[in-house]
């Protein structure tokens, strides 16, 4: 007999103060692995994103979707540990989903999703696929000045290989290039 609930609770308890008791990262993940069948999408990936930061993920569409669906609590990684908005994944995925919308080309209410992400994390796996009206709404949301009395919104935006995100983005951002070969060789670390 397998005690799935007990294992989940033990995992959640083990990571309660991980990576440290004073960590305030919007996203902290270590050794993430995502695979689809025999194909490794990314491996040994470490990510640390501060609240209010803008991170651009460049890479294969499947890898970007796997990473963002996993970090937003909508899918499980094949391996690794992740904590998003202070919640341990996958056990607290439902809590993450309430504050981490996924903005896709097919999203019915983009303005509502952007509003839902205020003070949390907005994930946009395929920035280059968004319709013009949704891109406009996203650009407006990204340009809103930070309210010092409210929690900052963290942004994770995905683009295809070789896409120049400059035209979409105001201000500073970091880029993480996903590549199964580079992730395996370099440890896939972004800090």
Q: Is 4-11+23-190 in CATH node 2.40.170.20? A: no
What's the rounded Cα separation, in Å, for the pair 163 and 61?
12
Rounded mean pLDDT, 16-21? 72
pLDDT value of position 115: 94
pLDDT tens digits, one per residue of 84-119: 999 999 999 999 999 999 999 999 999 999 999 999
What is the tens place of the pLDDT at every residue in 33-45?
999 888 899 999 9
Q: What string of DSSP letters covers 31-84?
A: EEEEEETTEEEEEEEEEEE-TT-EEEEES-HHHHHHHHHHHTTSS--SEEEEEE
Confidence of residue 19 (pLDDT cuts 50, 70, 90): confident
Determine the pLDDT at residue 171: 78
Element (DSSP H or E) covering residue 94: helix 93-97
Question: When comparing pLDDT for 30 and 144, which is higher?
Answer: 30
pLDDT of 58 strictly over 90:
yes
Residue 188: pLDDT above 50?
no
pLDDT in tens, 125-159: 999 999 999 999 999 999 888 788 999 999 999 99
pLDDT of residue 177 exceeding 80, the answer is: yes
In angstroms, the CA 70 to CA 34 distance is 9
pLDDT of residue 189: 40
């Amino acid at each position: 007999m397998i005690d799935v609930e007990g294992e989940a609770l033990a995992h959640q308890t083990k990571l309660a103060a991980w990576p440290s008791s004073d960590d305030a990262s919007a996203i902290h993940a270590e050794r993430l692995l995502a695979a689809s069948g025999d194909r490794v999408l990314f491996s040994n990936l470490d990510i640390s994103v501060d609240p209010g930061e803008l991170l651009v993920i460049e890479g294969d569409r499947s890898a970007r979707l796997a990473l963002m669906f996993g970090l937003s609590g909508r899918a499980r990684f094949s391996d690794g540990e992740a904590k998003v908005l202070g919640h341990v994944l996958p056990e607290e995925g439902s809590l993450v989903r309430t504050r981490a919308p996924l903005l896709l080309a097919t999203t019915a209410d983009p303005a509502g999703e952007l509003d839902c992400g205020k003070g949390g994390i907005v994930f946009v796996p395929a920035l280059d696929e968004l319709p013009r009206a949704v891109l406009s709404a996203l650009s407006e949301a990204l340009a809103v000045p930070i309210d010092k009395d409210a929690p900052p919104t963290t942004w994770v935006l995905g683009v295809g290989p070789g896409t120049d995100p400059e035209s979409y983005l105001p201000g500073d951002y970091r880029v993480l290039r996903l590549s199964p070969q580079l992730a395996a060789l370099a440890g896939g670390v972004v800090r």
